[in-house]
Chain A
Amino acid sequence: MQPDDLSRALGPKLGDGLLSVEAFPGTAGRVRFRAERALDLFRAVRDDLHFGHLSMVGGIDWVDHREVFYVAWSDEARQYVFLSADVPATAPRIESASAVWPSANWHERETWEMVGITFENHPDLRHLLMPDGYVFNPLLRSFKLHEPEELEVKARHV
């Protein structure tokens, strides 16, 4: 399957919900879509294109916005497809994929706690790797592992 095949199959279903389809190394292509139309896209990708196996969900913090990405596998095409949507950093939310692919459950829990993206209508959105009540999102760029200058100053005073 090529990027053209993807846009031909998804274009009529999603209309302006489909932003672009581009080549992406090692996959059938990268589909960029509008976050509001997430569920329609997931259904089309699973039912029409037969990508029945969702492998991975993750998020990237681009500081001015955040990106949610999904990787799905098709047993017929023997290929992966890469899906991604941008969500605003001020209101990072998107519809959960777990109604379409049950395997999204844990991946979305992890993305929620690490990158701070809320998955709406998720069956069980709670902490997975971090302890309950943890308030930070460690994979945001604003979460610093250490401040080298600060450490240096402290070391000098010891």
Chain B
Amino acid sequence: MSEMWINMGPQHPMTHGLWNLRVKIDGEMILDVDPEMGYLHRGIEKISEDRHYNEVITLMDRCCYVAGFAWEHLYILSAEEALHLRPPERAEYLRVLCDEFQRIGSHLMWYAAFVQDLGLMSPFLYGMRDRDLVLDLFQSYTGARMTYEYMRVGGVRNDLPPGFSDQARKVLDWLDARFPEYDQLCLGSTIFRERCDNLGLLKASDCVAHGVTGPMLRSAGMKRDLRKDRPYAAYDRLDFEVAVADGADVTARYLVRMEEMRQSVRILRQVLDWLDHHPGPVLADRLPRWLGAPYAPIGNEGYLLKRNYPKGVGFSAVEEPHGEAQAYVVNDGGEHPYRVKFRSPVFANISAARQYLVGYHVADIPPIMGSVDVCVGEVDR
């Protein structure tokens, strides 16, 4: 047989976003792969250098369109460090609330898209149905379903509306009862097992060498989660377990994500209890005037006074639904960040594609790449 390169993408059902996987094949065997990224590059890091600190939040929602809150949180943490600010405790819990609901929403989106790649249509519908409940909750307190602009440097924009925690508990109870159904639909399906078991193997040592993090790393038996290892916001005050599996294959990644959703439900119950009993401010007082307004004017240069703000740098890392995201913000005392750098977990996970694709068949690419949970928005930024 002769070898040849084929393009899977930029428009291909497997890609879930705009990118191109170049695959070198010999018959059905994969000999080499070369992911081509950049179709969705919007220059978010560059645009951030031209914006005020609170205006960058708008871009963060668009960084990863299924996990906007996680990226807002990431940026906010390092911006606060660079600007020497501390949020009130209630804001920290509200951020965890956002993060964990977002994790459920993101994993459900992944679940729906992934099983559809395998040809299972009903789980797709169930996944999207349940994700909508989470989006409804987001809409009730941020006004948006995907691009929230909710977190602020120094806190969050507004508190929860009355009756939110009852509604949220109902959603959690509903989700809790759905997880066994998901498992039954997938793990009980012969098609699912035959297309996922022992595919896309990536050992823990290879994960570490190639920078792979998140559910992919934990599916290889490595218990690493920044929420535990390097707690941020209120995670050190919450009780939960790190989801791990030891198969290192596609099925193991499924198991890890399912367990993470269960743990998120567990975290959210504690967070809702805390929020019910601890009213308080959600935005730090004594913020500089240009950060203090809950609805900061956008693009209004005249409002922002030149100031002598202390210089600083901020580095933060959060456990995003896809893995470990990092942000580095340099504040040189000006009105805009001097440099903003983001580390996207999916960027690193895709860069290791050669490690988990070579040696399998062409038909294995959709389940394997599906198990990576690609979000091109945050890879290209």
Contact = CB atoms under 8 A, between A and B. Distances in A.
A129 B380 contact: yes
A125 interface: no
A102 B202 CA distance: 15
Interface in A50-97: 52-56, 58, 60-61, 69, 71, 75, 78-80, 82
B47 A145 contact: yes
A60 B330 CA distance: 9
B328 interface: yes
Interface string B149-184: 000000000000000000000000000000000000
A143 B43 CA distance: 12
Contacts, number: 88
A130 B380 CA distance: 10
B50 A145 contact: yes
Nearest to B380: A129
Interface string A15-40: 00000000011110000000000000
A-side interface mostly: loop
Contact of B314 (A25, A78, A114, A145): A25
B339 A26 contact: no
B38 A130 contact: yes
Interface in A130-158: 130-131, 138-139, 143, 145
Contacts of B330: 60
B248 to A, nearest CB: 17
Nearest to B217: A53
A118 interface: no
A138 B49 CA distance: 12
Given A101-B209, A145-B50, A69 B328 contact: yes
A113 to B, nearest CB: 9
A128 interface: yes
A54 B211 contact: yes
A7 interface: no
Interface string A97-108: 000011101110
Contacts of A102: 209-211
B41 A129 contact: yes
Interface in B287-336: 313-317, 324, 326, 328, 330
B230 interface: yes
B37 interface: yes
Contacts of A25: 81, 313-315
A138 B38 contact: no
B347 interface: yes
Contacts of A131: 38
B90 interface: no
B-side interface mostly: mixed
Interface residues of B, number: 37
B343 A71 contact: yes
Contacts of B191: none
B326 A71 contact: yes
Given A26-B81, A60-B339, A80-B317, A106 B209 contact: no
A78 B229 contact: yes
A52 B209 CA distance: 7
Nearest to A104: B211
B210 A103 contact: yes
Contacts of B81: 25-26
A56 B328 CA distance: 10
Contacts of A106: 347-348, 351
B4 to A, nearest CB: 21
Contacts of B351: 103, 105-106
A52 B47 CA distance: 33
A92 B51 CA distance: 27
Closest 5 CB pairs of A and B: A103-B211, A129-B38, A106-B351, A56-B343, A58-B341
Interface of A: 24-27, 52-56, 58, 60-61, 69, 71, 75, 78-80, 82, 101-103, 105-107, 114, 127-131, 138-139, 143, 145
26 contacts: A25-B81, A25-B313, A27-B315, A52-B208, A53-B211, A54-B211, A55-B213, A55-B326, A55-B348, A56-B328, A56-B341, A60-B338, A71-B328, A75-B208, A75-B222, A75-B224, A78-B229, A80-B315, A101-B211, A106-B347, A106-B348, A129-B380, A138-B43, A139-B45, A145-B46, A145-B50
